[in-house]
Structure 1
């Protein structure tokens, strides 16, 4: 009989009660509510940095194209294929990348700022203008 009681007592003491599990879940939820906003803001800032890096790569490809051809291309697709005389590409290893939000980069041979071309991304919202993470990103 002593053995039976001891076995029952050990089985009651092993494991967690429902209250203990709920407390752990609440604590984890509170920690996540503090950590998640910080982590998600890092995702947005890393996408902005990725867009800037991709535009720098595109600028280098555009400058190389201009050195070979004598002028900048009409569109970014000419960095991959072109029938123009002097073309020595492709100037990009793969297809023209989309910006980190899945939109095409905006390219124009004319620029209002006196630059030989303009290259930009409309940011997270995919529309011209905006503030914060929705702000437009321009090549430098």
Structure 2
């Protein structure tokens, strides 16, 4: 014959609701800070990728004598253009990545305002201009 212990006690519905409310309040304070960090992290990744492009572009110019044309684009850092005999790349290890928001980087040579080239990511919205996570990430800043 088994004897049941009636002294065993579980959580009441009220106690569970209190815990759920506390967890909800904590997540309401933590989540915005966490997701704000993600946006800043993507901007930092875009800046780092543009710096890698700049190093590759400089090495390309040293070997070939000029920067890739706008038509050749950043792909010229990974795959040899047909018309470049002095190309000694690849100048990027893994090809040309998309920006952190999954858009293609914009490359122009010559660049605007007298620059030799421009490399631009238009940010999260993929449109020129904007602020915050939508702000442009450019090679000249």
With structure 1 as the length reference, what TM-score do the two structures score? 0.90
1:32, 1:122 → 2: CA distance? 31
2:53, 2:112 → 1: CA distance? 19
Question: In structure 2, which of residues 14, 37, 54 is the aligned counterpart of residue 19 of structure 1?
Answer: 14
Question: Which residue matches 1:131?
Answer: 131
2:113 matches 1:113: yes
2:52, 2:113 → 1: CA distance? 20
Per the TM alignment, residue 133 of structure 1 is displaced from its structure 2 partner at its CA by 1.4
* Equivalent runs, 1:20-39 vs 2, <5 Å: 20-39=15-34
- Structure number with greater Rg is 1
Mind listing any 5+ residue stretches in structure 2 that lack a counterpart?
none
Q: State the SS of the aligned residue for 2:119.
A: strand
Question: In structure 2, which of residues 66, 73, 96 is the aligned counterpart of residue 71 of structure 1?
Answer: 66
| RMSD between aligned residues | 1.5
2:42 matches 1:44: no
2:26, 2:113 → 1: CA distance? 47
- Shift >3 Å, 4+ stretches: none
Per the TM alignment, residue 95 of structure 1 is displaced from its structure 2 partner at its CA by 1.6
* Equivalent runs, 1:73-112 vs 2, <5 Å: 73-74=68-69, 75-82=73-80, 83=82, 84-112=84-112
Per the TM alignment, residue 115 of structure 1 is displaced from its structure 2 partner at its CA by 1.6
Q: State the SS of the aligned residue for 1:107.
A: strand
With structure 2 as the length reference, what TM-score do the two structures score? 0.90
2:105, 2:34 → 1: CA distance? 26
